[in-house]
Amino acid sequence: MTISELAGKTAPQSLLTNIPRLVAHYYETRPDASDPLQRVAFGTSGHRGTSVSGTFNEAHILAVAQAVAEHRAAAGISGPLFMGLDSHALSEPAWMSALEVLTANGVRVCVQPGVMTPTPLISHAILQHNRAGQGGTADGIVITPSHNPPQDGGFKYNPPSGGPADTDVTGAVQARANAILENEMRDVKRLSLEDAMGKLEEFDFITPYVRQLPEVIDLDAIRESGVHVGIDPLGGASLPVWQAILAEYNLNFEIVNNTVDPRFAFMSVDKDGKIRMDCSSPYAMAGLLRLKDDFDVAVGNDPDADRHGIVTADGLMNPNHYLAVMIDYLFQHRPGWRAEAGVGKTLVSSALIDRVANGLGRNLVEVPVGFKYFVDGLLTGDLGFGGEESAGASFLRLDGSPWSTDKDGLIPGLLAAEMTAKTGKTPSQRFADLTEKYGATAYDRQDAPATPAQKKILGNLSPEDVKAQTLGGDPITARLTRAPGNDAPIGGLKVTTAEAWFAARPSGTEDVYKIYAESFKGADHLKQVMEEARDVVSEALGGK
């Protein structure tokens, strides 16, 4: 991809979203249910879109909220529904729309009025309620498009497990919501906003989460060491949580950016010339990177705080690198975890994690892309840690019980401070130690063109379709179309050798497939692996 000339620079006025127009389209634009692009579509992180293109409008949210209410009734979920939102401009209108429908359906909706609520706090509240076993089973909704551009909106549903809903739930909700759209909303039950606000139950998400943090992070060590930590919420929902952490604990932390602006006008532009609150992008994180020498460690979060970005004097850490560092540290500093607790990773995460897990004597559980695959393991303690290459992770409390079963961007930031305090080394210095022990890697992700027919073929390949015997000059050791950790289909292909691997998956939104590759033999070898990967995929597709 060509890097935009605006990348890393503060967003110019021409890139800023017209918020009044965006919100007007949310209410006034009627999506066309016969247009596949304007129907409800749940991806790995819920339904997302923008109001100006008819992909995220009031009708979508009314229909999805009605479908969720019906799902709850059918599933016997009778407890409270915890609902949060982030700082995107469309989040509050969608929050109000969902509230009107849920309360009309008799759902007990728990919210914190006037306060943004991040994804991990919703997960934490669900688990806390269900652990207590009183007042029925709880679930939750977060109104967020995560790190997406300012004009986008999003809707995520978390069932009683606390984590992202699996496809059996999202598929049913999606189908029912689209049926409601096709039926011109006749099945939607709805109260006025005034009546709905009168029925909501106020709930403090922040205080229990903040006060229980010593159960998952050694805050005493952080405080006693005086480690200096900078925090950039990137204008998102983590801001009030970080403010509460600073108020509750005497830590040497500093919030470097208190701005909340639905245009995200303070943001540095991402590599493709768009405003995107991606805390794993050095271009989006340019503001915090300019302060890297002012702190021992600095932390960024995306708007719903389910992702983390870690900055040290060495720069912004690659998400894969920090996953390996967290795993190496946690499994040596959490004696309360079960000896058999494993390491969860997605199949496109770094193979360095494999080597670290092996070095620790821990079982590696490699699953397809999607945090939902870690939920059950985190709930039972079978997994001590679950993480994915896009800077999303969660891990257990000190005693081995679950903390959150959705991605939590706050505790990895606090963990960076803990490991610096307790070992005297920053996460990037600890990563250097890992590469010395296990080898340095080169990692890349690229897109390649593919027709819809080719994408369908790629998503349904079998290992026998791969005829190649070597990759990058080394013998192929595995050809995978199902994840080794849970035997779930990966919707693509992964090919490995002792020193490298690549994975290819079709894009769900574009006529491309994504190629991920990694090599322990350096950048030149990675380039060779990437080139051969295209040939292997092309051959497997039969040259079509």
**Active-site residue set:** 146
Could you report how far apart the first and last alpha carbons of the chain are, in Å? Answer: 24
The answer to whether the beta carbons of residues 418 and 409 sit under 8 Å apart is no
Give the max Cα distance, the chain: 68
> Residue 336's Cα: distance from chain center in Å?
27
Contacting residues for 267 by C-beta, under 8 A, at least 6 apart? 10, 11, 234, 235, 275, 276, 277, 284, 287
The answer to whether the beta carbons of residues 13 and 275 sit under 8 Å apart is no
Report d(CA 503, CA 493) in Å as an integer: 5
| Six token digits for residue 183 | 């039926």
Q: Tell me the backbone φ, ψ of residue 12, rounded to 5 degrees.
A: -75, 165
Three-state DSSP state, 276: coil
| Six token digits for residue 131 | 């652990």
| Six token digits for residue 109 | 């909706």
Report d(CA 482, CA 537) in Å as an integer: 16
Report d(CA 10, CA 26) in Å as an integer: 27
Report d(CA 298, CA 232) in Å as an integer: 8
- Nearest CA to 408 among 214, 203, 216, 130? 216
Q: Is 252 exposed, middle or buried (0-12, 13-18, 19+ CB in 10 A)?
A: middle
Per the DSSP assignment, residues forming a β-bridge with 268 are 10
Find the length of the chain.
544
Report d(CA 22, CA 16) in Å as an integer: 11
- Nearest CA to 177 among 89, 87, 65, 260? 65
Say what angle helices 410-423 and 427-438 make with each other, to 10 degrees.
80
Q: Is 226 exposed, middle or buried (0-12, 13-18, 19+ CB in 10 A)?
A: exposed
The sheet carrying 253-255 orders its strands as: 253-255, 229-232, 297-301, 308-312, 315-316
Report d(CA 229, CA 292) in Å as an integer: 10
The amino acid sitting at 459 is G
